[in-house]
Amino acid sequence: MDFIRSAPIPGLQVLVLLVYAIGPNLAEQEVENLSGLSTNPEKNIFAIRDNGTTCLMAEFSARIVVPYEVPSSNEVDWDTEDATIQLPRDTEIKGKCWNNESELHLSWLDKSYTLKLFFVKDAQDFTKSTGRSWKMSKVQFLYDPSERTHFKAGARPGKQTATSHHLSLMTTPVGMSYECEATEKVSLVSSDQKKIVVLFLSEVHIQPFDIKSDFVFSEEYKCLTDQRKQLEETLPLILGLILGLAIVIILAVYHIHHKMTANQVQIPQDRSLYKHMG
């Protein structure tokens, strides 16, 4: 630290202090590909750890549909094809965790493809009771049409980047994880003549901040689609129970009424019968 004291430029001192302060934290962040633990071959599990504690966990299945151009039969025009790319298990992981921002970078096939997910904490209130929230704020997908696993020969060359800015996906109260079984669609604009690349995420369970236990998600906050589906599944059961309870109550009332009326003295309606009474 003698170098810091002898540095004549205050700005340089600040820079060196930042390197000493931030550098060790970044070095201690490690990544884990736990996809082999999933029974679903299309589902991936990733974790980022900082100082021996999990700071980001993500489980999901990802499929990307990419439009690209190939020469038409007349060898003059271009036809559009769609490449469907499934996120594989043998994925290279990188990522970073900060207090208010987190990133998850996934690359495969010698970095011919890279999917980047960005998360931020929102300073605005999620609700008056829960306070702040986090969300997925940006998605990037980098791809190379010259890679032949998913793209046909003759595809227009040149590495491309598809991006979606200013997202507000998966908005979740801070301290909770986001869960959604339903498939979610994210549209990205490609640098390849503004084509629309579509990312499909399903069986999602993500928490990029404030994980309380190592490798364990916090309490789940379900997406609206799953909430509606759960309501649709339980509503007939609830209505059936209410209807059954109403029938039981009606039968019980009828039985009580019938028993009470049966024990009462029957007064003849024909007045001529009164002389036989007593």
Q: What is the 3-state secondary structure (H, E, C) of 183-220?
A: CEEEEEEECCCCCEEEEEEEEEEEECCCCCECCECCCE
| 86 & 187 share domain | yes
| 126 & 73 share domain | yes
| 79 & 116 share domain | yes
Examine residue 210 and state whether it is found in any structural domain, yes or no. yes
Examine residue 99 and state whether it is found in any structural domain, yes or no. yes
| 148 & 51 share domain | yes
Examine residue 105 and state whether it is found in any structural domain, yes or no. yes
| 48 & 128 share domain | yes
Examine residue 264 and state whether it is found in any structural domain, yes or no. no
Q: Which of 197, 222, 247 is the last residue of a domain?
A: 222
Distance between CA atoms of 163 and 141, rounded to whole angstroms?
6
- What six digits make up the tokens of 28? 């201690």
Examine residue 41 and state whether it is found in any structural domain, yes or no. yes
**Cα–Cα–Cα angle for 169, 160, 183, nearest 5°?**
30
- Radius of gyration of the chain, Cα coordinates, nearest whole angstrom: 32
| 191 & 247 share domain | no
| 246 & 138 share domain | no
| 76 & 104 share domain | yes
| 132 & 73 share domain | yes
| 42 & 157 share domain | yes
| 218 & 235 share domain | no
Distance between CA atoms of 46 and 89, rounded to whole angstroms?
10
Q: Which amino acid is at 104?
A: L
Examine residue 171 and state whether it is found in any structural domain, yes or no. yes
Examine residue 262 and state whether it is found in any structural domain, yes or no. no
For every one of its 278 residues, what pLDDT tens digit does the chain have, with 9 covering 90 and above? Answer: 443 333 444 444 433 344 334 444 444 589 999 998 888 999 999 999 998 899 999 999 999 999 999 988 887 888 999 999 999 999 999 999 999 999 999 999 999 999 999 999 986 655 555 578 999 999 999 999 999 999 998 888 889 999 998 899 999 999 999 999 999 999 999 998 789 999 999 999 999 999 999 999 999 999 987 576 555 546 456 656 676 777 777 777 767 766 777 666 555 555 565 555 55
Number of neighbouring beta carbons within 10 Å of residue 62: 24
Residue 145 three-state SS: coil
Examine residue 114 and state whether it is found in any structural domain, yes or no. yes
HSE (CB half, 13 Å, CA atoms) of 5?
Answer: 2
Domain count, the chain: 2
Q: pTM for the whole thing?
A: 0.71
Residue 81's domain spans which residues?
31-222
The domain that holds 94 is classified in CATH as: 2.40.160.110
Q: Under a CB-based contact definition with an 8 Å cutoff, are residues 47 and 31 in contact? A: yes
| 249 & 210 share domain | no
